[in-house]
Amino acid sequence: MKPLRVAVLGVTGAVGQEFLSILEERKFPISELRLLASKRSAGKEVKFRDKQYKIEEATPDSFQGIDLVLSSAGGSVSRALAPHAVRAGAVVVDNTSAFRMDPEVPLVVPEINPEDIFKHKGMIANPNCSTIIMLVPLFPIHRVSRIKRVVVSTYQSASGAGAQAMKELRIQAREILDGKIPTKAAFPHQIAFNLFSHNSAIQEGGFCEEEIKMMKETKKIFHDDEIKVVATTVRVPVFRAHSESIMIELEKEISAEEVKSILLKAPGVKVVDDPKGNHYPMPIEAEGHDEILVGRIRKDPTVEKGIALFVSGDQLRKGAALNAVQIAEEWAKKL
Amino acid sequence: MKPLRVAVLGVTGAVGQEFLSILEERKFPISELRLLASKRSAGKEVKFRDKQYKIEEATPDSFQGIDLVLSSAGGSVSRALAPHAVRAGAVVVDNTSAFRMDPEVPLVVPEINPEDIFKHKGMIANPNCSTIIMLVPLFPIHRVSRIKRVVVSTYQSASGAGAQAMKELRIQAREILDGKIPTKAAFPHQIAFNLFSHNSAIQEGGFCEEEIKMMKETKKIFHDDEIKVVATTVRVPVFRAHSESIMIELEKEISAEEVKSILLKAPGVKVVDDPKGNHYPMPIEAEGHDEILVGRIRKDPTVEKGIALFVSGDQLRKGAALNAVQIAEEWAKKL
């Protein structure tokens, strides 16, 4: 892979920070690195591979001479700046929801639809974190026996709402332990020792945006308009890994044992399924790991050809930054 | 109602303490109160209605002259002592799982099957907490349009594992905030800032005992052997209210609006369903309340006649002590 000129947009956020860790860890070949953020953060210094970098303010002119932009600065910033980056000749891997459902923009999980990367017109979208964490283990099953319907309930960590939200969980927990009234800022409701329906806007039909993302993005990534997904998304007091309780209905019967053996060979998946030790996927064990943990694999006896499972995956890694860097790697390999 | 001679078995536990609060709150008519616990707690004093009571060790002879036993001392204690109480002429309302599936023992949620109370032969069983919290809002829907299938994923609080487990959540949270390794005792896995599959034993088919309780008890309480329930039960870092994400499949089509209007009139239920304010059931709002909070009521577009909802209910109150006291009230009314 030839070294690239890389810009990280939104470098001060939780995903932005994770981009740097992952680029470093995976020895991504970089000839030039530009760190971009809002005006507020401009001038701050960040270390990368033993070198200090100064954060610059992101403007429409920030992308001259850049090959690859890893972007995670929020939907409105992406909408405003990404087209300038594309016009300047860069390829943008965008972690926001701004362009995901655009038919001109590939939406990619490298374990599932890497071929879509090469249909890009300058922009490649990274799916929603809950969608990625659900689909990495579902796709290898889907390839053996088509999944007709998915019923999913999520247990989403604070990190999905950014670095401030993770901090808020910590601050509120201490306030409550100390008998104080918890301070609310990042979340509309108390997050410590509580949980609540995902606070994205409720749309027609009563589903929230997060649920609609899971329902729509699955169809696009799987190239299967017939797959039905119904989701209930819930925020829980966990720092940085999402969990999901998933029930699937398959086209042809496969046993729980077969599903387990499919998942044991699947890329990006680690089976954690020990009934004797009562050891199954947990967010604290998914944290910091690349794989999606999968367990509780069992036949759902209440429906024909049903399978139930439980997954945990690091929201900042595979749910966001890692998936985006993997997309960039696949793309860069063929340059 | 004539005053009764009441024994509380397992009075030092989380549910035992809640029994006392609820008896006091609801002005349950008591002529004599006997507080029973293990040898370890015997001699300790407990206040009830401005009077001090000394805890006695529970033995087979503890039930002479007692009309009603409210029991929550664990399955093995119930199995050992409840038959003695029945033989001594008392009626036992048992909060453990020991006798729930015994065909001779009614399993009762007063909002659903109060008539079963009077089929008792000395013993009445209180259902599992997750089952009660699920069924109180489902039953009024079931009466209008039979529920054929329930898919449920739980978010269960620490209280379900007892007073020590609630304390453990608090201690671990502080240890983690202070950068220490969390101490594990009540739970096999870290509970603070984590979650895990319910740690009851895994049975054949891969379901844990807690899940099997929800699946079997529903049939018995509803007197409907055909209803299918598939459950995934998960422990979350919340103190004392359980939440559940529930999807139901109905026999005849009813709209989400109709379901909402059924629930607005249902006993023991409070509708919390405000899409504009993004305000839905939350455990911290269910805590200390008698009603099961219900919201996120919406049509499930992925299945015929499907409805999705989200509930929260106080595990120690309606999930345990309150339901048992309500059973005792219904029974005592007809004495």
Q: Which of B177, B256, B284 comes nearest A174 by C-beta?
A: B177
Contact between chains at B232 and A308 (C-beta distance less than 8 A): yes
Length, in residues, of chain B: 335
Return the pLDDT at A1.
Answer: 81
ipTM above threshold 0.85:
yes
A4-127+320-333 and A131-315 share one fold: no
> Taking CB atoms and an 8 Å cutoff, what residues of chain B touch A134?
none
Contact between chains at B234 and A195 (C-beta distance less than 8 A): no
Q: Which residues contact A197 (CB under 8 A, 6 or more apart)?
A: A208, A232, A233, A234, A235, B278, B280, B281, B295, B296, B310
- What is the residue type of B234? V
Contact between chains at B193 and A238 (C-beta distance less than 8 A): yes
> Taking CB atoms and an 8 Å cutoff, what residues of chain B touch A205?
298-299, 301
Long-range contacts: B200-208, Cβ < 8 Å, 24+?
A: B200/B233, B201/A278, B202/A275, B202/A276, B202/A278, B205/A298, B205/A299, B205/A301, B206/A256, B206/A275, B206/A296, B206/A297, B206/A298, B206/A299, B207/A298, B207/B231, B208/A278, B208/B233
| Helical packing angle, B163-177 and A163-177, nearest 10° | 120
Which class for A42: exposed (0-12), middle (13-18), buried (19 or more C-beta within 10 A)?
A: middle
Q: What is the sign of the dihedral through the CA atoms of A106, A107, A110 and A114?
A: negative
The answer, for A118 touching chain B at a CB cutoff of 8 Å, is no
CA of A262 vs chain B CAs: smallest distance (Å): 18
Cα(A221)–Cα(A174) distance, rounded to whole angstroms?
41
Q: Nearest chain B residue to A207 by CA: give it.
A: B298
Q: Which residues contact B204 (CB under 8 A, 6 or more apart)?
A: none
Give me the residues of A, 279-298, that contact B with CB < 8 A. 280-284, 295-298
Which are the catalytic amino acids of A? 129, 242
Q: Which of B155, B195, B281 comes nearest A282 by C-beta?
A: B195
Residue ranges of domains in chain A: 4-127+320-333, 131-315
CA of A277 vs chain B CAs: smallest distance (Å): 9
Which class for A274: exposed (0-12), middle (13-18), buried (19 or more C-beta within 10 A)?
A: exposed
Return the pLDDT at B204.
Answer: 86
The answer, for A181 touching chain B at a CB cutoff of 8 Å, is no
Q: How would CATH label the architecture of B4-126+320-333?
A: 3-Layer(aba) Sandwich (3.40)
Residuewise pLDDT in 10s, chain A (335 residues)? 899 999 999 999 999 999 999 999 999 999 999 999 999 999 999 999 999 999 999 999 999 999 999 999 989 999 999 999 999 999 999 999 999 999 999 999 999 999 999 999 999 999 999 999 999 999 999 999 999 999 999 999 999 999 999 999 999 999 999 999 999 999 999 999 999 999 999 998 999 999 999 999 999 999 999 999 999 999 999 999 999 999 999 999 999 999 999 999 999 999 999 999 999 999 999 999 999 999 999 999 999 999 999 999 999 999 999 999 999 999 999 99
Contact between chains at A247 and B239 (C-beta distance less than 8 A): no
> Taking CB atoms and an 8 Å cutoff, what residues of chain B touch A201?
278
Long-range contacts: B24-28, Cβ < 8 Å, 24+?
A: B24/B48, B24/B49, B26/B325, B26/B329, B28/B4, B28/B325, B28/B328, B28/B329
The answer, for B195 touching chain A at a CB cutoff of 8 Å, is yes
Task: State the pTM of this model.
Answer: 0.97
Contact between chains at A284 and B190 (C-beta distance less than 8 A): yes
Q: Nearest chain A residue to B276 by CA: give it.
A: A202
Which are the catalytic amino acids of B? 129, 242
Contact between chains at A202 and B174 (C-beta distance less than 8 A): no
> Taking CB atoms and an 8 Å cutoff, what residues of chain A touch B257?
none
> Taking CB atoms and an 8 Å cutoff, what residues of chain A touch B308?
230, 232
Return the pLDDT at B121.
Answer: 98
Residuewise pLDDT in 10s, chain B (335 residues)? 899 999 999 999 999 999 999 999 999 999 999 999 999 999 999 999 999 999 999 999 999 999 999 999 989 999 999 999 999 999 999 999 999 999 999 999 999 999 999 999 999 999 999 999 999 999 999 999 999 999 999 999 999 999 999 999 999 999 999 999 999 999 999 999 999 999 999 998 999 999 999 999 999 999 999 999 999 999 999 999 999 999 999 999 999 999 999 999 999 999 999 999 999 999 999 999 999 999 999 999 999 999 999 999 999 999 999 999 999 999 999 98
Return the pLDDT at B40.
Answer: 96
Which class for A279: exposed (0-12), middle (13-18), buried (19 or more C-beta within 10 A)?
A: middle
The answer, for A275 touching chain B at a CB cutoff of 8 Å, is yes
CA of B302 vs chain A CAs: smallest distance (Å): 6
The answer, for A237 touching chain B at a CB cutoff of 8 Å, is yes
CATH topology of domain B131-315: Dihydrodipicolinate Reductase; domain 2 (3.30.360)
Return the pLDDT at A35.
Answer: 98
Give me the residues of B, 39-98, that contact A with CB < 8 A. none
The answer, for A21 touching chain B at a CB cutoff of 8 Å, is no
Contact between chains at A194 and B306 (C-beta distance less than 8 A): no
Q: What is the CATH number of domain A4-127+320-333?
A: 3.40.50.720
CB-CB contact of A269 with A292 (8 Å): yes
Return the pLDDT at B85.
Answer: 98
